[in-house]
Amino acid sequence: MPLLVMKFGGTSVADLARIENAAKKVQKEVERGYDVIVIVSAMSGETNKLVGYVEGTSKLYDAREYDAVVASGENVTAGLMALRLQEMGIPARSWQGWQVPIQTTAQHGSARFVDIPRANIDAKFAEGFKVAVVAGFQGVSPEGRITTLGRGGSDTTAVAFAAAFGAERCDIYTDVDGVYTTDPRVSSKARKLEKIAFEEMLELASLGAKVLQTRSVELAMRYKVRLRVLSSFEDTDETSGTLVCDEEEIMESKVVSGIAFSREEAKITLFTIEDRPGVASAIFGPLADAGVNVDMIVQNISEKDYDDAHPGAVTDMTFSCPINQVERAKKAMEDAKLAGKIGYDELIVDTDVAKVSVVGIGMRSHAGVAAKMFNALAAEGINIKVISTSEIKISVLIDRKYMELAVQALHDAFELEKA
């Protein structure tokens, strides 16, 4: 039998009515001849409630017990989904992570997959069961303890099962009907994409697009798992949603496929650091040790170069990081300065910035993308603070108040409303 993986997020299973709606979508795929593995998230809001219970009980909680509590939300959904399918006459059984067993590392709260043995679920399919409903977001450590994968882990669970079982496709049901050229709430001209390459989706996810979790796209790209993003709340068929696939499946790509943005950015500048070999390592090593996710980096000649107070060559170093990691970054730099690893006159933080990025695999073979992007921003009077590039992406840091204007201007400049 061909096999399909279907994943339903929290809003898709938020109550019994929505669980029934999701079950009807599973029923359609069973009637088409598929065996189905359904991955479910906790009901909307349930995980936050469980986290609140843990934090309200113990401020310095045991991570193993945290996982035991928080994973229970998905267990409830899996059982309810299996019951609903049984009521519809479909042979279904629920599975918790330890029953599969989903083998993970022992990093509680952020575990990673080690293996998903097929034997137990394959045996149930062989007995005549048509649907295995698996609790997402969880697994079991080598010590036999329940683990969780971190927020968005159910997406990653779905892709991992699709890879392990050689699924024809992995359908991700959510509250949007596909992947758009940008957020429709920011640009009314945003257009739903029929297909998007793994690399493009990975860039968009990592740059702020919230449609798919970054780890799930990484896994799909590694194992060539075809993903389809579609709405739980609309009637769908095999042409619905957006297909995330290998580049070879896309006949002709536009130069730019999408515009991503993130409001949660901060810019940190270290003024007047010694310009010598190893200084970058002395800065970014401690930041990495502190778990700070550095993104854009710019080094430039300091205004104080070669003055009386600084007889040697000096420079300024600017980098960006998520706004919720600013205090961690400041402490790492202050500690490095106290330890004599680096010296700087001043550390300035700007939290009133946003990152805007253009993404497209067509950029590999087309010149002039940066020029068009910068011209479009200049025409709107938007100043660029920092720039970073990759083979298929250009990102800029700008004042946050101009973010929506920048997205709209770039969407127009690259004519993304056109198919």
Do residues 266 and 389 both lie within one domain? yes
In angstroms, what is the C-alpha Rg of the chain?
A: 24
Q: Which of 175, 195, 227 finishes a domain? A: 175
Distances (CA, A) of 226 to 159, 223, 328: 9, 9, 38
The residue among 175, 199, 216 that closes a domain is: 175
354 with 398: CB under 8 angstroms? yes
Q: Do residues 270 and 378 both lie within one domain?
A: yes
pLDDT in tens, the chain (419 residues): 799 999 999 999 999 999 999 999 999 999 999 999 999 999 999 999 999 999 999 988 999 999 999 999 999 999 999 999 999 999 999 999 999 999 999 999 999 999 999 999 999 999 999 999 999 999 999 999 999 998 788 999 999 999 999 999 999 999 889 999 999 889 999 999 999 999 999 988 887 667 888 899 999 999 999 999 999 998 887 788 999 999 888 876 789 999 999 998 999 999 999 888 899 999 999 999 999 999 899 887 665 554 555 455 788 999 999 999 999 999 999 999 999 999 999 999 999 999 999 999 988 888 899 999 999 999 999 999 999 998 899 999 999 999 999 999 999 999 999 87
- Give the domain CATH number at 292: 3.30.2130.10
- CA–CA gap between residue 183 and residue 418 (Å, rounded): 16
Looking at the domain assignment, is residue 291 inside a domain?
A: yes
Per-residue model confidence as pLDDT tens digits over 170-229: 999 998 899 999 998 899 999 999 999 999 999 888 876 678 888 999 999 999 999 999
Pairing verdict, β 346-359 and 258-274:
antiparallel
CA distance 98 to 101: 4
Domain that holds residue 54: 3-175
Q: Has residue 229 been placed in a domain?
A: no
Q: Are 134 and 71 in contact (CB under 8 A)?
A: no
- Sign of CA pseudo-dihedral 369, 375, 377, 383: positive
Q: Is residue 208 part of a domain?
A: no
CA distance 348 to 321: 13
Count of other CB atoms within 10 angstroms of residue 101? 16
Q: Is the peptide bond before 101 cis (omega within 30 degrees of 0)?
A: yes
Angle, helix 63-70 to helix 46-57, in steps of 10 degrees? 150
**Rounded to two decimals, what is the model's pTM?**
0.85
User: End-to-end alpha-carbon separation of the chain, Å?
Assistant: 36
Asked if the structure places residue 67 within a domain, the reply is yes
97 within a domain of the structure (yes/no): yes
How many domains does the chain divide into?
2
Whether 395 is in a domain gets the answer yes
Residues 266 and 171 in one domain: no
Q: Indicate if 141 and 271 belong to the same structural domain.
A: no
The predicted structure's pLDDT at residue 308 = 53
Structure confidence at residue 254 (pLDDT): 81
**Neighbour count for residue 45 (Cβ, 10 Å):** 12
Torsion (CA) 334, 340, 346, 349 in degrees, nearest 10: -30
Q: Are residues 278 and 377 in the same domain?
A: yes
What CATH number is associated with residue 8?
A: 3.40.1160.10
Residue 217 domain flag: no
> 54 lies in a domain?
yes
Joined together, the tokens standing for residue 4 give 């399909």
φ/ψ of 49, rounded to 5, equals: -65, -45
Q: Looking at 175, 196, 213, which one is the last position of a domain?
A: 175
Please check whether residues 275 and 378 belong to one and the same domain: yes
pLDDT value of position 251: 73
Give me the amino acid identity at 360: G
Verify that 24 and 154 share a domain, yes or no: yes
